[in-house]
Structure 1
Amino acid sequence: MINRLEVNETNKMIEQEMLDVRTITMGISLLDCCDSDLDTLNRNIYNKITSAAKDLVSTGRDIELEYGIPIVNKRISVTPVALVGGRACKSPEDFVTIAKTLDKAAKDMGVNFLGGYSALVSKGMTPVDENLIRSIPQALSSTERVCSSVNIGSTKTGINMDAVKLMGEIVKETAEATKDDSSLGCAKLVVFCNAPDDNPFMAGAFHGVTEGDVVINVGVSGPGVVKRALEKVRGENFEVLCETIKKTAFKVTRAGQLVAQEASGRLGVPFGIVDLSLAPTPSVGDSVAEILEEMGLESVGAPGTTAALALLNDQVKKGGVMASSFVGGLSGAFIPVSEDQGMIDAVNRGALTLEKLEAMTCVCSVGLDMIAIPGNTPASTISGIIADEAAIGMINQKTTAVRLIPVIGKDVGDTVEFGGLLGHAPVQPVNRFSCTEFINRGGRIPAPIHSFKN
């Protein structure tokens, strides 16, 4: 049981150490909305979302006021739209009408993002999948709150290299379509390997087909809490370091569990999972990079960074699992460059490169996240980076993702302002050597030998 004493214990973390519930995300199945008529389909989608989520935002605000726990975002995720629109959508333009319907529903419900404009193509693409993927640039440039993701690989199926090639092109097209807004559309587009069905964090959230009709998932974050705890054990050995992180993660997760249970009960919607992910913000004191530096690194990117991140990620998961029987989603430490002031500083001082970030993704929660690159980067290079990241996920049986932003008109040394929680980012160099012939081979990279566990 969770009681008010535990809530009171979090007051200091909330007031002084920037603990927050980053998001309450309502997952909504749209499978019962399917129809062969496009207008009927859009009407069904709008009605289902607005009916299920009508009290989401007000309930979140009530919980904030009652318990004093900040709930930064209220969000919605839906069934991957490629699975919903197949009967009615015969072209990319048809899918864009669904994106606009989702955007209107999100605005009317008062949520800041809606995820699930997605396709699952880890082994192959249907014509429907391809139509949705090709619609992404137009969909993201004509909406404000819709987020998109594409799963192009998994440990069980291998990597769909045709989809990898296409996604490199789509990222570039999305950058061009939103170039007047610092290519911000790419910040709402994630390319996954091993995408989870229950991730509450944007931009990669979608409501998996294994989920129920409606569910509440909560994402909780507190990098500042962990950093403050580590300041008290400065110079202690690794056993003390690990125990401190684990115990702190336990307390943070309990706060998320409370919010999840309260939201579930008040909305009459089943509780899904708590995702404890140390998701940083541009605010001072809310940085994963600063946690790693508190462990003893002069700067993130220094030798030892990957080991420190591995330790952090593992202990966060262990603490979360002790606190809740339903820890899921991604859970661990995020390393989005533009959203973490410590990461930005490390890039600016030359300590952190794209290659080092790739090495860190082997042990972090997700992957290459919110990284600005030159706008003239070839689509094939972006595809190569996606393939590398997918290979890490496939071989290591973990979720990996890429959210690159090729900012049109910007080059290495420039800085891009995204605003809000998305922060700002220095434009980082990418390897100038070509992988075009490799990407153009087409077909599929097969699943690794250790995937056969039946």
Structure 2
Amino acid sequence: METNQILETIRMIEEEKLDIRTITMGISLLDCIDSDGGKARQKIYDKITRLAQNLVRTGEDIENEFGIPIIHKRISVTPIAMVAGASGDKDYVAYAKTLDEAAKATGVNFIGGFSALVQKGYTVGDRRLVQSIPEALAVTELVCSSVNVGSTRSGINMDAVGEMGRIVKETAERTADAQGLGCAKLVIFANAVEDNPFMAGAFHGVGEADCIINVGVSGPGVVKRALEKVKGERFDVVSETIKKITFKITRMGQLVGHEASTRLGVPFGIVDLSLAPTPAVGDSVARILEEMGLESAGTHGTTAALALLNDAVKKGGVMACSHVGGLSGAFIPVSEDAGMIEAVEVGALNIQKLEAMTAVCSVGLDMIAIPGDTPAETISAMIADEAAIGVINNKTTAVRVIPAPGKKVGDNVEFGGLLGRAPVMAVSSHSAAEFIARGGRIPAPIHSFKN
């Protein structure tokens, strides 16, 4: 590397909050399946702790040697509904506890994969896992859960959508002493991807290798600083600027991924180029949108600005790395983005606008606190709307909302760390109960027939 490139990278890390958000080890648990649940859980614990025993130390070594911050080290596993379904166990909370124990033994920040894929219907294992989610998230610290309720090829499982509204409510109630924190570890997807390194939605897909390393990069502050240098320029220039800086960010992610892969003796999977914000000042996706000329994120023009950002990020990243995957775009979690929080507080951003933005962003309605007395059917309807956006547009969408117990619009919910602070946002007071009560399946769209 030339001297100016080295100095530029140092500046991006020290001044613009560039980091590797996560190194995530994906582990298949298919060979841990056993009709005896106790034996299956022992196999799960043994495999995770054996393969990931050096993950945290390796990440720290790379941080120290290269001077690149790696914020989290994580594990994702095969959806537990598939693994536990072969056993006679009727309650899967014990599996969540096993994952939690394995995560703590390896020292990682989170483990994902307490999951079920029910876009076309439930297996016995799926149903038992979903029913176990509230208690599982209440009695564990590091376990994350996800449920996929729709896909472009299958349509939307409205029975699952209806049930997940109730599960979200129950999870909030079971973790009321932590302001509903359990819901921050639960995400409901449409078109979930198999190689996502980001929590809470990470799981290790059945099409993946036995063990892989995936990397999630970040760097909203770097993109904003780059745009400050082209203030007032045409959007063609804005797009090119984002592409060039994303190329550099992704190159760094690929370097870290390959280095971790080599040291751990595990195949390299993908780089997820999602711009993941934090509550820290200067690390905000909202500030990027405002740098394009918006007075505040949420005003008219926000969806167009976000669409440009997402597209340019993908184009720049794909040129930098042959193995791009995961979600790859821009996250817009309210509680984790200082600019989004401010936009809500000044009245520029509401849930309706966020829903429109999810049509062009990385995922969906993410880390949004809503009143604790919000009916389960309203939460289900929010899930259905997001699933519809994903299914019709052939993209991943998701819902991670927190019905904060005892809180009303205008209150704040404090989670701390990367989860940040969430102002409680208003939801519609009009009921969707009869709509959700219909159940059944919304058919796949006509463009799903591609064979």
Q: TM-score, normalised by structure 1?
A: 0.98
CA distance in 1, matches of 2:435, 2:115: 26
Question: 1:62-111, CA deviations, whole angstroms, 9 ceiling, x for partnerless residues?
Answer: 1001100000000000000000001214312xx10010000000001000
CA distance in 1, matches of 2:315, 2:4: 23
CA distance in 2, matches of 1:6, 1:132: 49
CA distance in 2, matches of 1:10, 1:378: 48
Question: 1:284-316, CA deviations, whole angstroms, 9 ceiling, x for partnerless residues?
Answer: 000000000000000011110000000000000
CA distance in 2, matches of 1:438, 1:91: 31
CA distance in 1, matches of 2:442, 2:89: 29
> 2:63 aligns to what?
64
Q: Which runs of 5+ in 2 are unaligned?
A: none
Measured after TM superposition, the shift of residue 128 of structure 1 is 1.5
CA distance in 2, matches of 1:39, 1:287: 45
* Residue 159 (structure 2) pairs with residue 174 (structure 1): no
> 2:11 aligns to what?
12
Structure 2 counterpart of 1:410, one-letter code: K
Equivalent pair of 2:387/2:397 in contact (CA under 8 Å): yes
Question: 1:325-354, CA deviations, whole angstroms, 9 ceiling, x for partnerless residues?
Answer: 001000010000000010000000000000
> 1:267 aligns to what?
264
1:333 is paired with a residue whose SS is coil
CA distance in 2, matches of 1:330, 1:442: 29
Equivalent pair of 1:22/1:71 in contact (CA under 8 Å): yes
RMSD: 1.1
The aligned runs of 1:415-430 (5 Å cut-off) are 415-430=412-427
CA distance in 2, matches of 1:203, 1:310: 24
Question: 1:117-136, CA deviations, whole angstroms, 9 ceiling, x for partnerless residues?
Answer: 00000000112111100000
2:244 is paired with a residue whose SS is helix
CA distance in 1, matches of 2:243, 2:418: 26
> 2:45 aligns to what?
46
Structure 2 counterpart of 1:175, one-letter code: A
CA distance in 2, matches of 1:402, 1:196: 15
Question: 1:25-52, CA deviations, whole angstroms, 9 ceiling, x for partnerless residues?
Answer: 0000000000011110110000000001
Equivalent pair of 1:90/1:128 in contact (CA under 8 Å): no
Equivalent pair of 1:7/1:67 in contact (CA under 8 Å): no
Find 1:161's aligned residue among 142, 158, 164: 158
> 1:207 aligns to what?
204
Equivalent pair of 2:377/2:432 in contact (CA under 8 Å): yes
Find 1:301's aligned residue among 298, 302, 311: 298
> 1:75 aligns to what?
74
Structure 2 counterpart of 1:309, one-letter code: L
Percent identity between matched residues is 72
> 2:410 aligns to what?
413
Equivalent pair of 1:273/1:326 in contact (CA under 8 Å): yes
Structure 2 counterpart of 1:88, one-letter code: S
> 2:22 aligns to what?
23
* Residue 248 (structure 2) pairs with residue 288 (structure 1): no
> 1:401 aligns to what?
398
Structure 1 counterpart of 2:300, one-letter code: P
Measured after TM superposition, the shift of residue 12 of structure 1 is 1.0
Structure 2 counterpart of 1:64, one-letter code: E
Aligned residues: 451
Structure 2 counterpart of 1:18, one-letter code: K
CA distance in 2, matches of 1:295, 1:214: 41
Structure 2 counterpart of 1:428, one-letter code: M
Structure 1 residue ranges, 4+ long, deviating more than 4 angstroms after superposition: 2-8
CA distance in 1, matches of 2:4, 2:396: 36
Structure 2 counterpart of 1:51, one-letter code: R
* Residue 445 (structure 2) pairs with residue 448 (structure 1): yes
2:34 is paired with a residue whose SS is coil
2:274 is paired with a residue whose SS is strand
1:72 is paired with a residue whose SS is strand
* Residue 367 (structure 2) pairs with residue 375 (structure 1): no
CA distance in 1, matches of 2:181, 2:365: 16
CA distance in 2, matches of 1:15, 1:410: 38
Mark the CA change 1:86 to 1:347 in structure 2 (over 3 Å): closer, same or farther: same
The aligned runs of 1:119-130 (5 Å cut-off) are 119-130=116-127
Equivalent pair of 1:137/1:173 in contact (CA under 8 Å): yes
Find 1:236's aligned residue among 233, 244, 249: 233
Structure 2 counterpart of 1:264, one-letter code: S
Measured after TM superposition, the shift of residue 8 of structure 1 is 5.3
Measured after TM superposition, the shift of residue 4 of structure 1 is 9.7
Measured after TM superposition, the shift of residue 9 of structure 1 is 3.8
Question: 1:146-169, CA deviations, whole angstroms, 9 ceiling, x for partnerless residues?
Answer: 000000000000000000000000
Mark the CA change 1:143 to 1:344 in structure 2 (over 3 Å): closer, same or farther: same
Equivalent pair of 1:158/1:447 in contact (CA under 8 Å): yes
Q: Which moved more, 1:333-342 or 1:7-16?
A: 7-16
Mark the CA change 1:313 to 1:135 in structure 2 (over 3 Å): closer, same or farther: same
> 1:316 aligns to what?
313
* Residue 346 (structure 2) pairs with residue 340 (structure 1): no
Mark the CA change 1:168 to 1:231 in structure 2 (over 3 Å): closer, same or farther: same
Equivalent pair of 1:89/1:128 in contact (CA under 8 Å): no
CA distance in 1, matches of 2:3, 2:37: 49
Measured after TM superposition, the shift of residue 275 of structure 1 is 0.4
The aligned runs of 1:85-234 (5 Å cut-off) are 85-92=84-91, 95-234=92-231
Mark the CA change 1:273 to 1:440 in structure 2 (over 3 Å): closer, same or farther: same
Equivalent pair of 2:76/2:113 in contact (CA under 8 Å): yes
